[in-house]
Amino acid sequence: MNELSDVFHDWFSTRGWTVHPHQLDMVARSTTPSLLLIAPTGGGKTLAGFLPTLAELSEHPRPGLHTLYVSPLKALAADIKRNLGAPIDEMGLAIRVEDRTGDTSSTKKRRQRADPPHILLTTPESLALLLTYEDAPRIFDGVSRVIVDEIHALSESKRGDQLMLCLAEIQAMSPEMRRVGLSATVEDPAAIARFLAKHPIPCPIIYADPGPAPDIEMLETEELPPWSGGGGKYAIPRVLEEVAKHKTTLIFHNTRAQAEIFFHELWLANAESLPIGIHHGSLSREQRERVESAMVRGELRAIVATGSLDLGIDWGDVDLVIQIGAPKNVKRLVQRIGRANHTYNAPSKALVVPANRFEVVECMAALDAVRSADLDGEPRGRGPKDVLCQHILIRACRGAFHADELFGTLTSTGSYSDLTWDEFSRCLDMVATGGYALRAYDRWQRLMQRQDGLWQLRDPRAAQQIRMNLGTIQDTDTLKVRLKGRGGGRPLGEIEEGFAATLTPGDTFLIGGRVVRYEGLRELTVEVTRRAGRPPKIATFMGTKFATSTQLSERILETFRKDDWPGLPKHTADWLDLQRTVSKLPSADRILVESFPHDGRHHTCIYGFAGRNAMQTLGLLITDRMERAGLDPLGFVATDYAVLVWGLNQIPDPAPLFDGDNLREAFETWLSGNAVMKRTFRASATIAGLLERNWGHQRRSGRQASFSSDILYETLVKYDPGHLMLDITRGEAMKGLVDFGRIENMLERTKGRIDHVILDRVTPLAAPLFLEQGLVPIFGEGRERLLEKEAARLMSAAGLKR
C-alpha cells in the first residue's frame, strides 16, 4: 500500500482539500516498521496517521483489530472517533472504530475483547489494563499498526514508559506490527524516534512543513505589571480588548489557582458579557465537556485554561493564544502558540503577558528564544524501575511467564534497552517477595516460581486487586466539591485535601470561576453553598510546577550583564537599575545572597537561578545546615531563581553554607530524611505495586486513617537501607523533585564566589518572593519553640493551668 486510491483523492477533492505532502509521505512509507511524524498543530497530523490504515482496510477488508491508536487524553480518543467517522462514512468504507477508555462501560469493554473493532482508540492506562487479561494475545494477534499520538507529551512521563512496555508485548504477539508516532515540534526528534521504535530497529522521521514563523509579542499594557505576584490581573482590560478583536482566544495560565482567579476577575470586568469559559484538570468532567463542546460549536470567545488544553485536537477556530505568566520553558510556549492555527500556513498569533516585573525579563528572554527557534528540554533518562515492576505484575495477571522471555521483551523497548539481567531480577524479586532482607513473606509472596520454572501469581484472585492499582498517574489527595442540599448535585470539581483542611465553615474559595462558601465536610465531600460573603481564599491545586529551563535561566542571567536594557519596557529597566543601586544584580558566575529584616524575622535571599526544583532542594539543604548551626530557621520559599529563608536568627556568614564538599556530603545524609523523598517514595512504591493506591485513605467516619506512608519509608530506611525501593526513590527524586544536578551546575559555575549583601529592608528583586505560594515550614528547634509558645497561649486563653 504505497499510494492512495482514487476513492481517497476524490474524497479530498469533494472536500476541497489537497493532501499534504507529509500525509502522502506517510502512505508511501507505510511499510516502514517505525515511523515518526513531526508536524505543527493543524497540519492534519492525525489524519496522516490514519490514512495508511484506511487505505489498507479499503483495499483489503478483513475482520479483527487492524490499528491501535493511543493518545494521552480520553477526550482525544472520543474526538478522533467522531472525526474518523466523516471520511469512513463518506467514502463508504466498512470500518468499525471504537474507543476504550476509563469511561467505557464494562459491558462494552467485554464485548470489545470478544469482538475487537478494526480501529481501537485508547489510552496507555486502558491498554495496560487490556494486557492483564488472558485473552490479550487473541485480541492483538494480527494487529497491523499502532499510532501513538502526542508522543512528545507521552515521552516526558512514565505513562510513555508504560505504553512502550505494553507495545513491546503486543509486538511479541504480532511481530509484523508497524509503529507510528505523531509529535509536535521538539528539540530532539531522534530521542523520540528511539523511544518509539523497537530496539534496535531504526526509525526514520518525516518532517511536515512547520509553516511560517509565529507572530508573537509581549502584550503592551497601559497599567504596569506589578512588582510581585502572579496571575496578570493588571492586564485584564487589555486581554478583554484582544478577546473582542479575535474569534476565539485561548488564555493559558501556568497553574489552576491562577486560572481560577483570572477567570473570576475577567468576568468582573467583562462589561460586554463576552462568552468566556474555563477549563482545567480539577474541574468535573461534565463541566469540562460542556466547555469543550461549546468551544467546538464556536460559542465561546475565550477559554481560560491550563495545561489541560495543551494537547488535543483543534477545538474551534482559535486565532489567538495569550500566555499569562512567564512560560518557564520555550518548547511548551511554542507548542501552546501552535494552538492558534485557524488557518494552516498563516502565522500563529500569540501574546505573552508577564505577571510581574521579573517575568518581563523572563518573557523577553523566552521571546528571543522562540524567534531563534532555540528549544529546550532535558534528555530523558533510563526507563524507570517502578514502571518496570508494575509491568511485571501486568504480565503475571495475564498468566504464567518465563523470566527470560519477559526480559527479552522488556529490553526490546527503547528506554529499557540497556536494562541488565541483574536489575531485572531484583525487580522481579521485589514484585514477588517484597525484596526485603528479612524474608518475612514466604507464605504470602505475590509471585511464585513453579516446578517448571515459570512464574505465576501465588493467588490468582490477586489479579483483580492489581488491575485496580494500575497506572502511573499520581493521584493527588483531592476531595470532591459539591453544592449542599438536594442530593448534593453534580460535583463542581476537586480541591486538594490539604487545602480543605485549612477551611472553616464560612470560608470562601473559587472553583470553576465561582465563589463558594465552605459549609462542611460530609463523607469525604466538601459541601459548599453559593452564598459568598467574604473575599475568596484561593484554592490550591497540585498541578505540575514546571521549573524554568536551564537555557531560559541562562538567557535571563545574560540579560542582567548588560549595562542598560533598551529592549525592556522602561518600568522593568528602571526596576533592575534600582536593584543594581541598592544591592546587586545576580550574575552567572557568582551567588548573590541578601540578608534583611522583615516582619520581625531575619530573612535571607539566595539567587541561584537553578530552576524551581533545585532551588527547593537548596532551600531544604541550607535550612538543614542552619538548623545544625543553631540559626533556628522557620521556613523558606523557593522560586525558579531564588530561595528566601526566614528564621529566628541572622545568618552571619553564608559561605560555609555553600561549601561544595560539605554541601554534597550534607546532601547525602540529608536526602534520606527529607519530605521530597517521602513523597517520591509514596509515588514510586504505589507505581511499583508495593503500596496500594489511596494508601492512607481508608477513612470512614469514626475510624482511624491507616498510617502514613512516611512511616513505611522511615522504617525501611532504618531496617533495610539497601532495599531496591529506596534506590528507585533516590533515583526518581534526584532527577525530578530534588534536581541536585542543577545545584551542582550552580556550584560549578560560581566556584565559591559569594556576595553577601546586608540591608535594612527588602530589596526590589526579593520582594516578589514574599507573595509566592508553597512555603515550606521547617520542623526544627525554632518551630518547637513556637509550638510550645502556642500551646502555652492556648492553655492560658482557656483559663487552664497545669
Interface with another protein by CB under 8 A: which residues? 433-434, 436, 438, 440-441, 443-446, 459, 462, 465, 501-502, 505, 520, 690-692, 696, 701-708, 711-712, 715-716, 718-720, 723, 777, 779, 783-784, 786-788, 790-791, 794-795, 798, 800, 802
User: Minimum distance from CB of 574 to another protein (Å)?
Assistant: 40
Q: CB-wise, 487 or 702, nearer to another protein? A: 702
User: Minimum distance from CB of 698 to another protein (Å)?
Assistant: 9
Across 500-518, b (16+ Cβ under 10 Å) vs e yields beebeeeebbbbbbbbbbb
User: Position of cell 539497601?
Assistant: 722
Q: How far apart are CA 601 and CA 648, in angstroms?
A: 6
DSSP states of 111-156: HHHHS--SEEEE-HHHHHHHTTSTTHHHHHTT--EEEETTHHHHTT
Backbone angles phi, psi at 10, to 5 degrees: -60, -45
Q: How far apart are CA 365 and CA 557, in angstroms?
A: 10
| Three-state DSSP class for residue 229 | coil
Count of other CB atoms within 10 angstroms of residue 783: 17
Q: How far apart are CA 134 and CA 95, in angstroms?
A: 26
User: Minimum distance from CB of 433 to another protein (Å)?
Assistant: 7
Q: CB-wise, 110 or 785, nearer to another protein? A: 785
Closest by CA to 654, choosing from 604, 600, 590, is: 604
Q: How far apart are CA 424 and CA 388, in angstroms?
A: 8
Q: CB-wise, 119 or 457, nearer to another protein? A: 457
User: Minimum distance from CB of 2 to another protein (Å)?
Assistant: 52
Q: Name residue 34's beta-bridge partners.
A: 179
| Cα–Cα distance list, 525 to 58, 390, 499, 511 (Å) | 51, 31, 13, 14
Q: How far apart are CA 621 and CA 636, in angstroms?
A: 11
Q: CB-wise, 373 or 791, nearer to another protein? A: 791
User: Minimum distance from CB of 578 to another protein (Å)?
Assistant: 37
CB 380 within 8 A of CB 155: yes
Q: CB-wise, 159 or 723, nearer to another protein? A: 723
* Residue type for position 48: A
User: Minimum distance from CB of 504 to another protein (Å)?
Assistant: 10
| Cα–Cα distance list, 388 to 71, 202, 231, 394, 425 (Å) | 21, 24, 40, 10, 11
Q: CB-wise, 518 or 575, nearer to another protein? A: 518
User: Minimum distance from CB of 115 to another protein (Å)?
Assistant: 33
* Residue type for position 69: Y
User: Minimum distance from CB of 499 to another protein (Å)?
Assistant: 12
The three three-digit cell numbers of residue 510, written as one number:
473559587
| Three-state DSSP class for residue 270 | coil
User: Minimum distance from CB of 613 to another protein (Å)?
Assistant: 23
Q: CB-wise, 96 or 783, nearer to another protein? A: 783
For residue 207, give the H/E element and its range: strand 205-207
Q: CB-wise, 212 or 505, nearer to another protein? A: 505
Q: CB-wise, 207 or 719, nearer to another protein? A: 719
Q: CB-wise, 420 or 708, nearer to another protein? A: 708
User: Minimum distance from CB of 354 to another protein (Å)?
Assistant: 33
